Structure 1
Amino acid sequence: MEKYLSIINKRTFIALAITSVAAFITITFEFEYNFDLTMISIAIIFPLVFTIRSAFKRREKALEFLSRFRTGLITTDASIQANTKITLADRKEIRSYILELSKMLVLYLGPEPLPMEKVRAAATKITNFIDLRREIFKMSPSLKIHGFMRDVYMGLEATAGIKEHHTPTSIRAYCLVFIYLYPIIYIPSLYFRMNSGNADFDHWVLYFLAMFSTFILISLFNVQEQLENPFDQQGLDDILLDEFEIKEENLVSIK
């Protein structure tokens, strides 16, 4: 239940407070006008949907690159462990480097991140290990291992880019401002339409419709904010980073 309530925050209460005040003033002073509410959808809904879609695409890309990173590391380890010319001590050493890199990337992406330089340094240890033992590998296996490491580096850097570079901040700020302005524009128009029916209506209906529509908009904005960083483990749709960390049991046994 706590996670489901995570879309409610201080922005929600600010938006609902503005809505309550706007509804009270509209009813008290009978302030109304006829306004085409299609403009609201253009001003708010379109950019809001755009940012949600962009954040969702970033999440899907992050899953793709994390999978590529994990697969590249596992395949690199399997290729090296299968080479009988490499000593047992060296195979244990490269295994420790691979486990270290995997753990460091998960820590970097998590809520309390490590510096990216440490993650890159851990990846360099693996590359240096392979380069220093180039004479042990034949040409074809060496090229394959470097190909696997290319996937590791691509997954590493692409995931870091997704974490550091978000969807346009200006559009998100624009959406939030217009969500706060929305009840001021929408409620008098809603009041006009309800009055134009030439029938008495309970003012609580106006309060309910205004609060409900505002809650929907600000909740969608909060969902987008949570999707914006799919690594911080705070939203319902965050990536389960532990699923991508390589454990000893995920790798072939060292013989």
Structure 2
Amino acid sequence: MGMAADAAAPAGGKGRGGPVLQLEDEPGMWDEFVEQCSTYWMGVRFAFTAHAIFMVALTCILTMVCSKAVLDFSFDTSMGIVAVGTVFPLVFSVQSGFARRERALGALAGLKASSITVYLMFKTWEKEGTGKWADEAERLIARLLDDIEWYLRTARRTENTGNAVYDSFAHIAAKMAEFAPAAGFGRPGDGGMSRMSQYLRTMMQNFEGVRAIRDSETPVGLRLFCFALIHAAPILLAPYWNHFCQGKKDVSEDIMGTTIELTGSYGCQAGYFMAVAYTLIVVALFRVQVELEDPFDGNGADDIKWEIWRAQLDQLGNYGVGGPEKRAENSRRAAALRGQ
């Protein structure tokens, strides 16, 4: 009987724990098609930047300069050597940047979890139940998060931006010491207050992990090598692209009954195709590497989504008893402000 009632709870919108979350319907075929087209268009825009178009144009011009009609200069080499020698450093750099981003996300997740835990300790351990300590803790945590986000996202690394973060940590530690009597502990190091201090230590440890990632970059030599590589290789390989035109017959004309075959004097389709494809690949990989180098600024598609990371941290007081009603009221207020 109980199992049947629980099974029917989602349909009725009620369960033993209150309202049941109503999931949205799955997107239809047309919505999926539009989403795929949008993704394809984003990929085209990512690949065909002004930088990429400039490099493609320069490569094609130099390929034409090395063609038979101009310099008549070409050579043959192993495409495997060319691919490994140019693409491998870029791929290695991209993998290094992606690993840094994943470590940063893990540290930020730990920082977020510890921050919420410290707030809930202030909220639930207070003996009087006034909520005063929880409000002060929420204010201090919000200030700490503002300082951390500013430090990680700013392009200029100054000592003052880092000091502001440590000031916020010190304020939270001082508030913990003041909170001990209100939580029923005689000294800040007693019982649960010691556990609260451990969570503060975890917050600081995760911040230091993110800071180490922020302040250290991919090896400078590797970045310089990749930069020089993607700008020099397509140009220096211009004679190699003309190698694909050897023996190609492009035009046939009949003059006085004699068939004359003319070779592609200014290059051929195969040579230009290989030049354009190779240039687009290395420039796109270089752009991926550059955007992954700094995942904190929030400008790239793969950067850390700060608004998502702070979504719950910015409304700590709206969770728990009466949480859905509080969040709904905040949503109505936000909608009203946007409508003004």
TM-score bracket relative to the smaller structure: 0.7 to 0.9
Q: Structure 2 matches for 1:91-102, cutoff 5 A?
A: 91-102=134-145
SS in 2 for 1:247: helix
User: For 1:76-110, what per-residue CA distance to the aligned partner results, in whole angstroms no more than 9, with x for missing partners?
Assistant: 11112111337643332222101221233223333
Asked if the contact 2:244–2:271 (Cα under 8 Å) also holds between the matched residues in 1, the reply is no
Distance change (3 Å), C-alpha of 1:158 and 1:3: farther
Identity %, equivalent residues: 23
| Letter of the 1:65 counterpart | A
2:224 to 168, 173, 177: 173
How far 1:249 sits from its partner (Å)? 4.3
Partner residue in 1 for 2:108: 66
Q: Distance in 2 between matches of 1:20 and 1:191?
A: 10
Moved more, 215-224 or 108-117: 108-117
Q: Name the TM-score, length of structure 1 as normaliser.
A: 0.86
Distance 1:170 1:55, change over 3 A: same
Question: Can you list the C-alpha shifts for 1:41-84, whole angstroms capped at 9, x where unaligned?
Answer: 33221111111001001111111011100000000111121113
Which is richer in strand? 2
Unaligned runs of 5+ residues in structure 1 are none
Of 132, 156, 171, which residue of structure 2 is paired with 1:125? 171
Q: TM-score, normalised to structure 2's length?
A: 0.66
The CA distance in 2 between the partners of 1:179 and 1:71, in whole Å, is 42
- Paired AA for residue 158 in structure 1: G
Find the structure with the greater CA-based Rg: 2
Residue 17 of structure 2 corresponds to which residue in structure 1? none
The CA RMSD measured in Å over matched residues stands at 2.7
Q: Compared with structure 1, are the counterparts of its residues 119 and 151 closer, same or farther at alpha carbon in structure 2 (3 Å cutoff)?
A: same
Q: What SS does the aligned partner of 2:237 have? A: helix
Q: Residue 52 of structure 2 corresponds to which residue in structure 1? A: 12
Q: How does 1:21-60 map onto structure 2 within 5 Å?
A: 21-27=61-67, 28-60=70-102
Q: Which sits farther off after the overlay, 133-142 or 173-182?
A: 133-142
Q: How does 1:157-236 map to 2 (within 5 A)?
A: 157-195=208-246, 198-201=247-250, 203-236=268-301
Assess, with a 3 A threshold, how the Cα gap between structure 1 residues 10 and 75 changes in structure 2: closer, same or farther: same
Unaligned runs of 5+ in 2: 1-37, 251-263, 323-340
The higher relative CO (CA closer than 8 Å, separation ≥ 6) is in 1
Q: How many residues align?
A: 253
SS of the aligned residue for 2:125 comes to coil
